[in-house]
């Protein structure tokens, strides 16, 4: 593979590459948690509505309607933060889009349709309460769940391609002989990313929603409504969390074979090693190429990566220094944060399921609910840490082994200005989201149950 230096739009000078990367990272960090709600929240709302249709119990309907208001507010924020991401493909990385738009662009084009369907049926579902026959209203919610999946599938197909590119040939800095379907969907690398992210969405949305009701319980808010409202997201999250451990292990093995340098960065493995040990915590020292002060577990890395305790694991020295991810410790700690939090969530999940099975009830101890309140934000931290692992671990490449990030960046000035403005605007949006959610939570149970999700006429 030969690296592209000039690319389609020619070489470029950009002093603020790091700012451009941070701006992109900020935009992702804001958008990805919202994606989780976009994917998983409609399912929870539909479960509540289905329970109402099945039993005729108005409580489920109240629940579904209150959640609908939250769902639509978060969806609106997700729409705009997602739009910013698509703008940034051109604003920040025009050379990437100009060179490879013909390869990966199809994924976004299909995602556009998926998003379109999602927006249409969100419009029907949200504004159709009270005005559509109940069964049809329920049915109109199903496409939202499906498009939530297909949309994330398309975006992750593009990310999978960036990590494991194929389906084209490079000639004079241009991608020719392009087979976009093969590039995106014939790619063996994207399936684990998709499954890992999709299940993460259930964990994040489940624990976050459950956390708010757990917080309410600690303040003595614990009627039948609250217990129903916590049961649905909590059950979803505690079922998904143990499954995620297996999927995560699978993902790590895929990375081990297809992106050995990323794995080396994740593990802080400076030199190619036979019977490689695993290090927990500690600090990677660039000079020695070793992890210092960590807890060493012999053979474990080889065993986990290749199911063979004496397998050889490639180290960072398997590629020239310029081709290694710079901040190895960032990748390492992001990975360990994700795995650590994921394991804690799985423990919490198994405890919940055990109490559910043995006692046929939710746990009683306030410590469980305190843990649950923490689990919400922690799940978001794990999500973002996971994306930092895969994205920073891919550096210095934007297209792995083909195009460097510094060759993709824009030549336009003012990147720090844009970064600053966007950061301020997103800070404002974050405050607005908190404000909206508090407002919606504060509304009395019966007050807004039958009014449509809009404010009363002034």
Continuous H helices in 92-189: 94-128, 134-163, 180-185
Q: Show the binding pattern over residues 265-304: x = contacts another protein (CB under 8 A), - = does not.
A: ----------------------------------------
Q: Which of residues 361-390 bind another protein (CB under 8 A)?
A: 361-362, 364, 366, 369
Contact 94, 7 (CB under 8 A): no
Strands 174-176 and 169-171: antiparallel
Beta bridge partners of 170: 175
Which is nearer to another protein, 234 or 388 (by Cβ)? 234
Judged by DSSP in three states, 325 sits in coil
User: What dihedral do alpha carbons 49, 113, 152, 388 form, nearest 10°?
Assistant: -130
- What lies within 8 Å, CB to CB, of 445 at 6+ separation is 62, 66, 225
Tell the smallest beta-carbon distance from residue 321 to another protein (Å): 27
Site for another protein in 143-172 (CB under 8 A): 143
DSSP for 404-443 reads EHHHHS---S-HHHHHHHHHHHHHHHHHHHHHHHHHHHHS
Q: What is the largest CA-CA distance in the chain?
A: 73
What is the smallest separation between the CB atom of 385 and another protein, expressed in angstroms?
22
**CB neighbours of 236 closer than 8 A, spacing ≥ 6?**
40, 43, 44, 202, 205, 206
Provide, rounded to whole angstroms, the least separation between the CB of residue 154 and another protein.
Answer: 10
Q: How far is the CB of 244 from another protein (least distance, A)?
A: 9
Task: Give the integer Cα–Cα distance in Å for 114 and 418.
Answer: 29
- Decide: 5 and 407 in contact? Cβ < 8 Å: yes
CB-wise, 25 or 120, nearer to another protein? 120
Query: How far is Cα 158 from Cα 410, in angstroms, rounded to an integer?
Result: 20
Footprint of another protein on residues 202-241 (CB under 8 A)? 202, 217-218, 220, 222-224, 227-228, 231-232, 235-236, 238-240
Least Å distance, CB 284 to another protein, is: 27
Out of 5, 281, 295, 421, the residue judged to bind another protein by CB under 8 A: 421
Q: Which of 24, 42, 66, 95 binds another protein (CB under 8 A)?
A: 95
Residue located via tokens 């969100």 = 122
Cβ neighbours of residue 20 closer than 8 Å, sequence gap 6 or more: 14, 92, 93, 409, 410, 415, 419
Q: Which parts of 306-335 interact with another protein (CB under 8 A)?
A: 307
Which whole-number Å values give the CA distances from 139 to 4, 135, 152, in the listed order?
Answer: 49, 6, 21
168 vs 284, beta carbon nearer another protein: 168
Q: Cβ of residue 56: shortest distance to another protein, in angstroms?
A: 3
- Footprint of another protein on 170-209 (CB under 8 A): 176-181, 188, 191, 195, 199, 202
Q: Which is nearer to another protein, 293 or 367 (CB)?
A: 367
Selected from 412, 416, 423, 449, the binder of another protein by CB under 8 A is 412
What is the closest distance, in whole angstroms, from the C-beta atom of residue 281 to another protein in the complex?
Answer: 25
Q: Which is nearer to another protein, 17 or 422 (CB)?
A: 422
CB nearer to another protein: give 25 or 79. 79
Residues 71-90 that bind another protein (CB under 8 A): 72-77, 79-81, 83-84, 86-87, 89-90
Binding part of the chain for another protein, among 314-322, 326-334, 392-400, 414-422 by CB under 8 A, reads 414-422
Smallest distance from another protein to CB 219, Å: 8
Regarding 25 and contact with another protein (CB under 8 A), the answer is: no
Distance CA 214, CA 229 (A): 10
Which residues within the stretch 113-132 sit at the binding site for another protein (CB under 8 A)?
113, 115-117, 119-124, 126-128, 130-132
- Under rule CB under 8 A, which residues in 336-355 are in contact with another protein? 353
Compare residues 95 and 405 and give the one whose CB is closer to another protein: 95
3-state secondary structure of 393: coil
Question: Residue 22, preceding bond cis, omega within 30 degrees?
Answer: no
Tokens 């489940």, residue located: 206
Is 234:206 a contact under the CB 8 Å cutoff? yes
Q: Of 53-61, 269-277, 315-323, 396-404, which part binds another protein (CB under 8 A)? A: 53-61
Count residues binding another protein (CB under 8 A).
134
Q: Write down the least CB distance from residue 181 to another protein, Å.
A: 6
Q: Which two three-digit tokens encode residue 321?
A: 């220094």
DSSP state of 4: B
Contact characters 244-263, another protein, x per CB under 8 A: --xx-xx-------------
Q: How far is CA 63 from the centre of its chain?
A: 26
Q: Smallest distance, Å, CB 274 to another protein? A: 19
């Amino acid at each position: 593979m030969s690296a592209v230096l000039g690319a389609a739009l020619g070489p470029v000078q950009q002093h603020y590459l790091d700012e451009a990367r941070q701006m992109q990272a900020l935009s992702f960090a804001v958008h990805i948690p919202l994606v989780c709600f976009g994917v998983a929240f409609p399912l929870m709302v539909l479960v509540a509505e289905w329970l109402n249709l099945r039993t005729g119990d108005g409580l489920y309907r109240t629940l579904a309607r209150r959640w609908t208001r939250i769902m639509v507010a978060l969806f609106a924020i997700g729409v705009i933060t997602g739009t910013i991401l698509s703008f940034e493909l051109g604003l920040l990385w025009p050379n990437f889009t100009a060179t490879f738009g013909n390869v990966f662009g199809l994924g976004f084009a299909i995602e556009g349709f998926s998003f379109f369907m999602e927006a249409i049926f969100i419009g029907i579902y949200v504004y159709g309460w009270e005005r559509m026959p109940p069964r049809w209203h329920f049915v109109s919610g199903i496409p939202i769940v499906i498009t939530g999946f297909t949309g994330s599938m398309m975006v992750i197909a593009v990310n999978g391609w960036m990590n494991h590119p194929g389906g084209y040939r490079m000639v004079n800095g241009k991608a020719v002989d392009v087979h976009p379907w093969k590039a995106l969907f014939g790619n063996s690398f994207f399936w684990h990313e998709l499954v890992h992210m999709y299940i993460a969405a259930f964990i994040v949305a489940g624990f976050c929603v459950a956390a708010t009701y757990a917080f309410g319980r600690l303040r003595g808010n614990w009627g039948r409504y609250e217990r129903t409202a916590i049961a649905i997201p909590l059950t979803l999250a505690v079922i998904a969390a143990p499954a995620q451990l297996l999927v995560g292990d699978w993902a790590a093995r895929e990375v081990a074979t297809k992106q050995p340098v990323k794995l080396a960065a994740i593990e802080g493995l400076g030199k190619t090693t036979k019977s490689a040990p695993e290090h927990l915590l500690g600090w990677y020292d660039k000079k020695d190429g070793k992890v210092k002060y960590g807890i060493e577990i012999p053979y474990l890395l080889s065993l986990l990566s290749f199911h063979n305790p004496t397998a050889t694991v490639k180290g960072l020295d398997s590629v020239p220094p310029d081709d290694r991810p710079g901040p190895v410790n960032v990748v390492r700690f992001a990975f360990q944060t994700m795995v650590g939090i994921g394991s804690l969530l799985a423990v919490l999940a198994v405890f919940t399921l055990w109490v559910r099975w043995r006692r046929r009830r939710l746990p009683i101890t306030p410590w469980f609910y305190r843990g649950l309140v923490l689990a919400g934000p922690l799940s978001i931290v794990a999500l973002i840490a996971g994306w930092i692992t895969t994205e920073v671990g891919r550096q210095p490449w934007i297209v792995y082994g083909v195009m460097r990030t510094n060759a993709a960046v824009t030549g336009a000035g003012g990147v720090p200005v844009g970064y600053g403005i966007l950061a301020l605007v997103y800070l404002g949006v974050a405050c607005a989201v908190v404000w909206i959610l508090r407002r919606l939570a504060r509304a009395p149970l019966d007050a807004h149950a039958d009014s449509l999700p809009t404010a009363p006429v002034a």
